Structure 1
Amino acid sequence: MAKDGFNIEELIYAYIDEFKFLFFPEEWNSAFLDYSKNEILALLLLYRKKQVNMTEVADYIHAPLNTATGVITRLEKKQIAQRQRDVEDKRVVFISLTAMGEAFVKKEIEELTYYFKALNAELDEEEKRAMYSILNKAIKILKKGKQEIEEVTKSKPVKRITIE
């Protein structure tokens, strides 16, 4: 336990215990659980942009081109995404969602939207501002990464002692 009586490990476990139902399919009927992180990101990109090329997918999911190709291939096998050659330049390939993919992502977004709206309805204006402020700070910290945070906390000023 920390000196101030605050035990972060216990807090983490308490929240895991409260949120563990999210990991059980019978409790959380989300088909998104059948997809990898990169597949979900690619689906969201395709849903928002409607049509992209492979480089855009790779950039969006922060992965090499060969990884993005594998992601799109898996989505094609699930009949969620499709590749189409450009009419004018056959070297250019565009990726888009199939009708089934479009309906799937739309349904998942509607489900997430329901929960965000329900949460939003329960909060007053001050609580909403606090929640968004906390979320923005959490995103900022997560973007920094663990290593950068550890470097800041470990770097202490060195006291120089002159030896005569």
Structure 2
Amino acid sequence: MRAPENIDAFRLEDTYWEFLDGAKDLFTAERWQGVLMDCSKNELLALAHVYRTGETTMSRIAEYVGVPLNTATGIANRLEKRGLVERWRSEADKRVVSVRITEQGEQQMAKVIGNVGALVGALFDDLSDEEQRVLLRVLARVPELLAKGAKDERAHGSDSRGGMKRIAIE
């Protein structure tokens, strides 16, 4: 995690990452399209994970994104082709593939975070201290509420596609 410029930015960034961690499995792929250089949801999640950790393994990416290792490999291939990450095999154990963010990937993620921060900052400028506290409490609950809504939909068999299941290929 990057060093905060001030404590409010630090808390906001922590809240942002906690929100992403809690909600990453709840948004459909369509909602993620075009967020960052036309990355898929899984590509964006993998890139965000590598950005946050600085360096990680393919196994950890697969675990974070919630996909099999072979799918994570495809995700990393696409990110590497875009120049956003780089990979190498461990000298100690050739089975372990490490991944780190490139300067270009870091710049892209910093740009996205900056844009989101500017939007949230503008929103917060127009709120009182009490409204800011309430909003942060509500935002902290959003992943829980989204998960409950998704669970309720599955329980009731709600499907807006006429019963057909659509599988996104990423």
Name the TM-score, length of structure 1 as normaliser.
0.66
1:80 alignment counterpart: 84
CA positional deviation for 1:108: 1.5
- What pairs up with 1:13-92 in 2 under 5 angstroms? 32=36, 34-92=38-96
Which residue number in structure 2 is paired with residue 112 of structure 1? Answer: 116
Residue in structure 1 matched with residue 150 of structure 2 by the alignment: 146
Structure 1 vs Structure 2 CA RMSD: 2.3
Distance 2:133 2:154 in 1: 29
Off by >4 Å, runs of 4+ in structure 1: 149-152
Tell me: CA distance 1:35–1:126, structure 2 relative to 1, closer, same or farther (3 Å): same
1:99, CA displacement in angstroms? 1.6
- Aligned-residue sequence identity (percent) comes to 37
Of structures 1 and 2, the one with the larger relative CO (CA 8 A, separation 6+) is 2
Aligned length: 124
Distance 2:40 2:155 in 1: 31
Question: In the aligned structure 1, how far is the partner of 2:154 from the partner of 2:69?
Answer: 31
Cα drift, residue 65 of structure 1 = 1.5
Gaps of 5+ in 2: 1-30, 157-170
Q: Do 2:58 and 2:96's aligned partners in 1 also have CA atoms closer than 8 Å?
A: no
Unaligned segments of structure 1, at least 5 residues: 1-22, 24-29, 153-164
Change (3 A) 1:135 1:91: same
String of CA shifts for 1:82-120, please: whole Å, max 9, x gaps.
111223222221011112111111122111111111111
AA aligned to 2:69 is L
What is the identity, as a one-letter code, of the residue corresponding to 2:104?
M
2:88 and 2:99 in contact (8 A); partners too: yes
Shift of residue 149, structure 1, vs aligned partner: 6.6
TM-score, with length taken from structure 2 = 0.64
1:47-66 per-residue CA deviation (whole Å, 9 max, x = no partner) reads 11011111111111111212
Instruction: Name the SS for the 2:144 alignment partner.
Output: helix
Q: For the residues of structure 1 that align with 2:92 and 2:99, how far apart are their CA atoms?
A: 16
